[in-house]
Amino acid sequence: MITPFRNGAIDEDCFVALVERQIAGGVHGLVPVGTTGETATLSHDEHRRVVELCVKTAAGRVPVVAGAGSNSTAEAIELVRHAKTVGADGALVVTPYYNRPSQEGLYAHYAAINEAVQLPVLVYNVPGRASVDISDATLARLSKLPNIVGIKDATGDMTRASIQKITCGDDWVMLSGDDPSALGYIAHGGHGCISVTANVAPAQCAAFFDACLAGDLEVARMGQARLVRLHKALFLDASPAPTKFAMAHLGLCTEDCRLPITPCADAVKPAILDAMRDAGLIG
């Protein structure tokens, strides 16, 4: 989920309304304060507040998996512990960014979280942003730990789902972190996607994933064709600026982002609007 701002502060009423819209649209779960939620520029108090609001508003209707990543293991443990305290169903923990730990360091990072907090944790592997790629061998080791339950995979590498299905076991939860390739990821054994596009089009995305999980390939392909240009358009400028532009066009929030993210560039707005028409969001 995005984190909506107004006049520099979190727009709490707007966030609550967005949670309700997601649930009404049929999404299967909510992820507050992930990277799309601009967590890097939220204070710790703001981060905790957004998680609390999401859990309170969802009220058990769908699972809440709280973003809780950091390049400091101690800080990640603190955020995961807070997520558990306020009633989140799980935590999404990105690989430590910038410091580029070794595979042993990555294992130790997640093993420490596993040991410290009894809450299901999804590993978030996004080497394009974090500059580190957690290997399938390391994931196989982590899958043996009781609280490390799965992955959000934003590598775009379809074969990794097939490999992890074998090495991590049938209980390993595999979610794509890349909307455009989610159909292929699910076909290779994945279970779904933590989606950016669902911020803009929750009902359309939920229908697409329902078809994928039901094995209805014809309907899934139709959904992919309807949404694929929107998937791509939402990254024509630094995320989540295009997503906030699209949502603002629908009257859902302001376009406000936190620096260093600036509002969506005018040059890419026509392409975003065209993609929204393809998705049936606007006339």
What is the rounded CA–CA span in Å between residue 6 and residue 116?
36
pLDDT value at position 186? 96
pLDDT value at position 73? 97
Residue 161 carries which side chain, given as an amino acid letter?
A: A
Rounding to the nearest 10 degrees, give the CA dihedral for residues 259, 178, 119, 159.
-140
Cα-Cα-Cα-Cα dihedral sign, residues 209, 210, 213, 214: negative
What's the chain's average pLDDT?
97
pLDDT value at position 135? 97
Q: Which residue ranges of the chain lie beneath pLDDT 70?
A: none
Identify whether 97 is a catalytic site residue. Answer: no
Q: What angle do CA 122, 186, 243 make, to 5 degrees?
A: 70
pLDDT value at position 84? 98
pTM to 2 decimal places:
0.96
Strands 5-6 and 9-10, by their bridges, are antiparallel
pLDDT value at position 161? 94
In 3-state terms, what secondary structure has residue 58? Answer: helix
Buried b (16+ CB within 10 A) or exposed e, 259-280: eebeebeeebbeebbebbebbe
Distance in angstroms between the alpha carbons of the first and the last residue of the chain: 25
What is the rounded CA–CA span in Å between residue 107 and residue 70?
15
What is the rounded CA–CA span in Å between residue 46 and residue 39?
9
Place of tokens 């899934």: 220
Each residue's pLDDT tens digit, 172-194: 999 999 999 999 999 999 999 99
Q: Is the peptide bond before 63 cis (omega within 30 degrees of 0)?
A: no
Q: What percent of the chain has pLDDT over 90?
A: 100
Pick the catalytic residue from 152, 165, 232, 269: 152
Identify whether 110 is a catalytic site residue. Answer: no
Residues contacting 6, CB < 8 A, separation 6+: 14, 254, 256
Pick the catalytic residue from 97, 107, 110, 124: 124
Each residue's pLDDT tens digit, 193-245: 999 999 999 999 999 999 999 999 999 999 999 999 999 999 999 999 999 99
pLDDT value at position 115? 98
Say if CB 14 and CB 33 are below 8 A apart: no
Q: Which DSSP state fits 64?
A: B
Q: What angle do CA 208, 1, 198 make, to 5 degrees?
A: 15
